[in-house]
Amino acid sequence: METTQNSRHPAQWAESASLLPQAARDLPAGRHEFHKRRLMAHIQQDIQVGGSAMTATPARPKTRRLRLPRPVVVLPVMALAAVGALVAGVALDGGGARSGGVATGPALTTPVGVTTTKGLPQLLDQASVAAGKETHSPVKPGQYVYIESEAANTFVKTVGNKSSLASFVLHRRQTWLSPDGTKGWLIDATVNKNSEGETLSLPDEEGNTPKAGVGHPSYEFLAQLTTDPDELLELIYKETKGQGNTPDQQAFDTIGALLTESYPPAELYSALFKAAAKIPGVVMVNDAQDAIGRRGVAVARLDETSGARQEWIFDKKTHVFLGERTVQVKTVFEYGVAVKPGTVRYTSAITKRSIVDGMRQPPARNS
């Protein structure tokens, strides 16, 4: 399945490129489509409604994604403009309902929680123990890792000459990925052209199959990683060198990505929390809430460049990972609109993580 695409003038490519972090190396030919799909899958880039301004009908609102501080895929400089030209456009009707069926509403907000380092080591240790107790059966060839979540995100919406913040309402997101990472499927109404979803399978349009890594992990890749926290963190710093706003923030963001839409073996899942405890600037937020309202305590880090704080939310009693959210804590302006403290840029709650025997197959009810 393909996603809705809109053509963009080359002058707009630079705007898209400036919203993305930069990496040090160029992108081999043929991998643009792969990275485009990953970017779209995680809603990392701005989208703008297509359509002619010459029509006599009322102007349609435009939507632009806010910059998200945790990109799942970081593109090299030379690839940014090319991908910017490929990113999908999504139209909203005058009432604010997206063509894919996800309505929009006022920007999501939350009180900005107070941070502390007191109790942080104990929390991460408890989260590590809880993760180690989870049952993660090996994923066999022919099976798929299935992850279901509820998510919502904030963007800049423009109607006529007036821009303001708005958010897609909470919606279900489903992903399937093969153990080697070469086959996959995504269903997310804010990304897909229709309800059937779209393929994430490789090789890409040029026949290339990118090598798995910490930025685009497969189950087989994760199963081979070291579970020593120091070695694991060293590897993450090495593989993400030159990406993100700072090395420490990128390392934290990368671990956050591995906690959500991937399926680490229990030993690695546990080691990730121990590795996170070694990153400078990590703090604890005593009161946080995931996308479906489950309250908990969060492990967080502020990106000083974006002014946004990524929060990993855990159940206060069981210390099981619930989901994540990104909260603005410093005022910034994007597309001329103030993004004030308390704005929830992105929120997600993991509701199902299991193994299934076929692509697009739902998990058993008791799994």
- 39-60 per-position pLDDT tens digit: 444 433 333 333 333 333 444 4
Q: Assess whether pLDDT exceeds 50 at residue 25.
A: no
Torsion of CA 247, 249, 250, 254, to 10 degrees: 140
pLDDT of residue 65: 54
Q: What confidence category does residue 366 fall into, taking pLDDT thresholds of 50, 70 and 90? A: low
Partners of 175 in beta bridges = 147, 186
Q: What confidence category does residue 70 fall into, taking pLDDT thresholds of 50, 70 and 90? A: very low
Q: Assess whether pLDDT exceeds 90 at residue 326.
A: yes
Q: Assess whether pLDDT exceeds 70 at residue 84.
A: no
pTM for the model: 0.76
Cβ-based neighbour number of residue 333 at 10 Å: 8
Q: Assess whether pLDDT exceeds 70 at residue 302.
A: yes
pLDDT in tens, 134-166: 887 899 999 999 999 999 999 999 999 899 999
pLDDT in tens, 179-189: 999 999 999 99
Q: Assess whether pLDDT exceeds 60 at residue 35.
A: no
Mean pLDDT estimate for the chain = 78
Q: Assess whether pLDDT exceeds 70 at residue 289.
A: yes
Q: Assess whether pLDDT exceeds 80 at residue 348.
A: yes
Interval 199-208 mean pLDDT: 82
pLDDT of residue 290: 97
% of the chain exceeding 90 in pLDDT: 62
pLDDT in tens, 7-18: 333 233 233 333
Query: 203 preceded by cis ω (within 30°)?
Result: yes
Q: Assess whether pLDDT exceeds 70 at residue 98.
A: no
Supply the DSSP symbol for 92: B
End-to-end Cα spacing for the chain:
28
Contact of 244 with 111, CB cutoff 8 Å: no
pLDDT of residue 210: 80
Q: What confidence category does residue 271 fall into, taking pLDDT thresholds of 50, 70 and 90? A: very high
Q: What confidence category does residue 330 fall into, taking pLDDT thresholds of 50, 70 and 90? A: very high
Q: Is 196 exposed, middle or buried (0-12, 13-18, 19+ CB in 10 A)?
A: exposed
pLDDT in tens, 206-262: 788 888 999 889 999 999 999 999 999 999 999 999 999 999 999 999 999 999 989
% of the chain exceeding 70 in pLDDT: 71
Q: Assess whether pLDDT exceeds 80 at residue 73.
A: no
Contact of 191 with 65, CB cutoff 8 Å: no
Name every residue whose Cβ is closer than 8 Å to that of residue 282 and which is 6 or more positions away in sequence. 120, 252, 276, 299, 300, 301
Q: Is 300 exposed, middle or buried (0-12, 13-18, 19+ CB in 10 A)?
A: buried
Residue scoring higher pLDDT (174 or 100)? 174
